[in-house]
Structure 1
Amino acid sequence: MPEEFRAVLRHSHISPRKMRYVTDIVRNKQVNAALDILRATPNRGSYMLIKLIKSAIANANNRSPHIDVDTLMISRLVVDCGPIVHRWRPTTMGRAVPIRKRTSHITVVLKPAEEETPEVKKTAKKDSAKAKSTPVEKPKTNTPKQTT
């Protein structure tokens, strides 16, 4: 089983819904390709994710210096809800409406890309003893003729 390298960003001040939009773009991609995509994405979450992926790459270099960074790919990318900070906004007639400031926990797991092995196609044996199937005719239904 290949080794996994993790990096976690907790309590980030971005809603999980907005962050998932960014993470769906780069999930299951090579690390260098994911960083290129994120640099071209103009969302605030992309900057956070770039730093997190770079941190995971640094973790990979520290734990196993022999690893080739170009072979790493994002195997798991999870965005979970963090704590919600409640605030109140005053409105007319002495009322107040709640504001829910959401936070996120983001986890990136990198894994070396597995070498693709070509699959061997199995040839099916022809069974000459099988009889050809004949199509079955549909039963005729007697519909009453309409008189005009």
Structure 2
Amino acid sequence: MEVQAITRYARMSPKKMREVARTIQGRKAPEAVDLLGIIPRKSARLIAKTLKSAIANAENNANLSADSLVVKTAVIENGPVLKRFKAAAKGSAAPRRKKMSHIRIVLADGNN
């Protein structure tokens, strides 16, 4: 059985988040939570929050044990982009693109 959790509009660029998301794919859920706890990055905190939500969904909605869960996929999708401008030299403006991400974590029962 598969269970998922989604965090939408996370204020971090997808490229930065994908670096961390790749490290947890295929790992057991409790091991992935521990690993994300020691990675000193904002993206690790956001992904850990989503992973804990997916584990809670599995325990409460599907009656699965957290110890038997495996991270099947951890996908970071592109969200909307906030387009802003910052003052630059000689009265001009430099564009800033503030990117957002959508985090999707799918857990599968490891017994299958």
TM-score normalised by structure 1 residue count: 0.73
The within-5 A match list for 1:96-107 is: 96-107=93-104
For 1:21, the equivalent position in structure 2 comes to: 19
Q: Report how far residue 64 of structure 1 moved.
A: 2.1
- Length, aligned pairs only: 112
The aligned residue for residue 89 of structure 1 is 86
Tell me how far apart the structure 2 counterparts of residues 80 and 64 of structure 1 sit (CA, whole Å).
Answer: 25
What is the one-letter code of the residue matched to 1:45?
A: S
Among 9, 12, 20, which residue is 2:10 paired with?
A: 12
Q: 1:70 Cα shift?
A: 0.3
Q: Secondary structure at the match of 2:80?
A: coil
Which structure: greater helix fraction? Answer: 2
Which structure's relative contact order is higher, taking Cα pairs within 8 Å and 6+ residues apart?
2
Bigger Rg, which one: 1
Give the Cα separation in 2 of the matches to 1:104 and 1:36.
23
TM superposition outliers: structure 1 runs of 4+ over 2 Å: none
2:58·2:65 contact (CA, 8 Å) conserved in 1?
A: no
Cα RMSD after superposing both structures: 1.0
Residue correspondence of structure 1 range 1-148 to structure 2 within 5 A: 3-65=1-63, 67-114=64-111
TM-score normalized with structure 2 length: 0.95
Alpha-carbon offset, residue 28 of structure 1: 1.0
Residue deviations 1:56-115 (CA, integer Å, cap 9, x gap): 0111112122x2210100001100110000000111112111000000001000001135
| Aligned sequence identity (%) | 34
Task: Write 1 or 2 for the structure with the bigger share of strand.
Answer: 2
Q: Distance in 2 between matches of 1:52 and 1:15?
A: 16
| Structure 2 stretches lacking a partner, 5+ long | none
SS class of match (2:26): coil
Unaligned runs of 5+ in 1: 116-148
